[in-house]
C-alpha cells in the first residue's frame, strides 16, 4: 500500500517519509507528485507505530472490571486523540494494518477490538504522572473556584513544567505585534496604548486583578476581533516592538505535540486530555456574563508559567482563526512605536440557532 507525507499531520512522521526522498502519486489521499511511502518496500514507520501500539492493551487483556468508557478503537485513538493522520478513519484502519502488517497478523485484537491504557485506571500512577493527578480538569476548576484557591494540591507542577518545556517558543527582539483600544476619533497617544498600570489592571485570562499584563495580537484585524469592536467605533491600534529576545509558552503547540516527540508515550497518553483542555481553556472565548471566577484556572496555569521565568503565553484567537495572541507578563518588554486610528465601517456576525 502506498501512502505519502500528506496522508499525515504528525510532523515527525512527515519528516521520516520526506527523508526517504521517493516521489510519486499517492493512491490513499490522491496526492500527485508527493513524497511517498510504500508499505511493501519501506519499513521506517513499523517500529515507530509498534512503539505506540505497545502502550495499549485490547479488551481481552484488560481486567474484567476495567471501565468501558476508557476504551476506544485504535483508529479513533490515532485520529482523534493523537491527530496523526490527515485521512478519514476507514483509510486509517487499512493503512495502519498495512504499515504494521506483522503485528496485525500476530495480534489483530489491538487493531480490531476496543483498547485502552492500563495506567489510565491506575491511581498511583496518575497521582505522580498526570498533570491533574487523579482528578479531572473539571474537578480542578471546581476546586480552585469554590474551595481552595492558592494552595490547591490538584496539579503536578513538575509534569506541567515538562510539557511547557516542549512548547517553548522564542520571539526575537524587533518582533512587531499589535494592541487595540476603542477610542474617539482623535485616538490615544502612544503613551496611552500600553497595558493598564497595576492599580488599574482588571482580571484577564493571563493575569489576576491588580497585576499588569500586556495583551497583544499577531495582526491588526485580530486586535479588532479581540476587543469586540462594534460598527462605527473608532479604534486606536498601536504597533508594539519587542525590545529583546524572549521565551514564551505556546499553547497552540501544546495541543499538537505528537506521540513521537520524545515524551514517554504512556505519560503523554494519559495527559493528552489534560493538555487539550488547558489549551482550549486558555483560548476560550469569553462571554458577556463571564465573571472573574471563569479566569481562575488559566490564571493559575499562567502564574505557574510566570514563576518558571517564561515571559508570556501564546494562544489562538478564537475570534479570528488566522490570528494569535500573546499575553506578556512584563509589559515593558514591548514598546509602542506607532499608532493609527481606524473607523470600523462594519462587522460580520456568525451565529447558529441553539434550539429549533
Cell of 355: 434550539
Does residue number 86 form part of the binding site for Zn ion (CB under 5 A)? no
Toward Zn ion, which CB reaches closer, 85 or 251?
85
Question: Bridge partners of 183?
Answer: 234
Query: Which range in 26-34, 179-187, 277-285, 312-320 contacts Zn ion by CB under 5 A?
Result: 26-34
Contact 324, 223 (CB under 8 A): no
State how far Cα 49 lies from the chain centre.
23
Query: Which range in 1-9, 92-100, 134-142, 309-317 contacts Zn ion by CB under 5 A?
Result: 1-9
CB-facing half-sphere around the CA of 233: CA atoms within 13 A: 15
Toward Zn ion, which CB reaches closer, 28 or 223?
28
Does residue number 75 form part of the binding site for Zn ion (CB under 5 A)? no
Q: How far apart are CA 91 and CA 11, in angstroms?
A: 19
Using CB under 5 A as the criterion, what x/- string covers residues 27-56 for binding Zn ion?
A: -xx-x-------------------------
Closest distance to Zn ion from the beta carbon of 16 (Å):
14
Does residue number 7 form part of the binding site for Zn ion (CB under 5 A)? yes
Beta strand segments in the chain, E: 2-4, 23-24, 34-38, 57-58, 115-116, 168-171, 176-183, 214-217, 234-242, 246-250, 312-316, 324-328, 334-343
Closest distance to Zn ion from the beta carbon of 82 (Å):
18
Does residue number 4 form part of the binding site for Zn ion (CB under 5 A)? yes
Closest distance to Zn ion from the beta carbon of 56 (Å):
25
How many residues interact with Zn ion (rule CB under 5 A)? 7
Q: How far apart are CA 256 and CA 331, in angstroms?
A: 28
The CB density around residue 325, as the number of other CB atoms within 10 Å, is 28
Which of 16, 17, 26, 99 is in the footprint of Zn ion by CB under 5 A? Answer: 26
Q: Which residues bind Zn ion (CB under 5 A)?
A: 4, 6-7, 26, 28-29, 31
Amino acid at each position: 500500500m502506498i501512502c505519502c507525507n500528506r496522508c499525515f499531520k504528525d510532523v515527525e512522521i512527515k519528516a521520516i517519509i520526506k527523508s526517504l526522498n521517493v516521489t510519486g502519486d499517492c493512491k490513499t489521499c490522491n496526492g500527485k507528485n508527493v513524497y511517498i511511502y510504500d508499505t511493501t518496500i519501506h519499513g521506517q514507520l513499523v517500529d515507530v507505530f509498534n512503539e505506540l501500539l505497545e502502550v495499549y492493551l485490547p479488551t481481552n487483556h484488560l481486567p474484567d472490571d476495567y471501565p468501558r468508557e476508557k476504551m476506544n478503537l485504535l483508529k479513533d485513538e490515532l485520529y482523534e486523540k493523537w491527530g496523526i493522520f490527515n485521512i478519514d478513519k476507514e483509510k486509517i484502519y487499512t493503512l495502519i494494518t498495512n504499515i504494521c502488517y506483522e503485528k496485525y497478523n500476530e495480534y489483530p485484537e489491538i487493531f480490531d477490538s476496543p483498547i485502552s491504557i492500563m495506567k489510565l485506571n491506575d491511581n498511583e500512577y496518575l497521582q505522580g504522572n498526570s498533570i491533574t493527578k487523579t482528578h479531572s480538569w473539571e474537578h480542578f476548576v471546581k476546586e480552585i473556584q469554590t474551595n481552595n484557591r492558592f494552595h490547591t494540591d490538584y496539579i503536578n507542577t513538575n509534569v506541567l513544567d515538562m510539557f511547557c518545556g516542549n512548547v517553548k517558543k522564542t520571539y526575537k527582539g524587533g518582533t512587531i505585534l499589535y494592541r487595540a483600544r476603542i477610542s474617539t476619533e482623535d485616538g490615544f497617544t502612544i503613551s496611552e496604548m500600553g497595558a493598564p498600570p497595576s492599580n488599574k489592571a482588571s482580571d484577564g485570562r493571563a493575569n489576576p486583578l491588580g497585576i499588569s499584563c500586556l495583551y497583544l495580537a499577531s495582526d491588526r484585524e485580530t486586535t479588532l476581533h479581540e476587543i469586540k469592536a462594534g460598527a462605527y467605533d473608532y479604534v486606536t491600534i498601536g504597533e508594539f516592538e519587542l525590545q529583546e529576545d524572549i521565551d514564551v509558552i505556546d499553547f497552540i503547540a501544546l495541543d499538537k505535540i505528537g506521540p513521537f516527540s520524545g515524551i514517554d508515550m504512556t505519560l503523554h497518553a494519559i495527559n493528552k486530555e489534560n493538555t487539550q483542555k488547558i489549551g482550549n481553556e486558555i483560548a476560550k472565548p469569553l462571554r458577556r456574563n463571564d465573571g472573574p471566577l471563569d479566569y481562575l484556572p488559566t490564571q493559575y496555569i499562567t502564574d505557574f508559567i510566570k514563576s518558571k521565568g517564561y515571559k508570556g503565553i501564546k494562544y489562538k484567537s478564537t475570534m479570528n482563526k488566522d490570528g494569535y495572541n500573546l499575553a506578556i507578563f512584563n509589559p515593558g518588554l514591548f514598546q509602542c512605536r506607532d499608532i493609527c486610528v481606524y473607523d470600523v465601517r462594519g462587522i460580520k456576525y456568525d451565529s447558529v440557532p441553539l434550539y429549533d
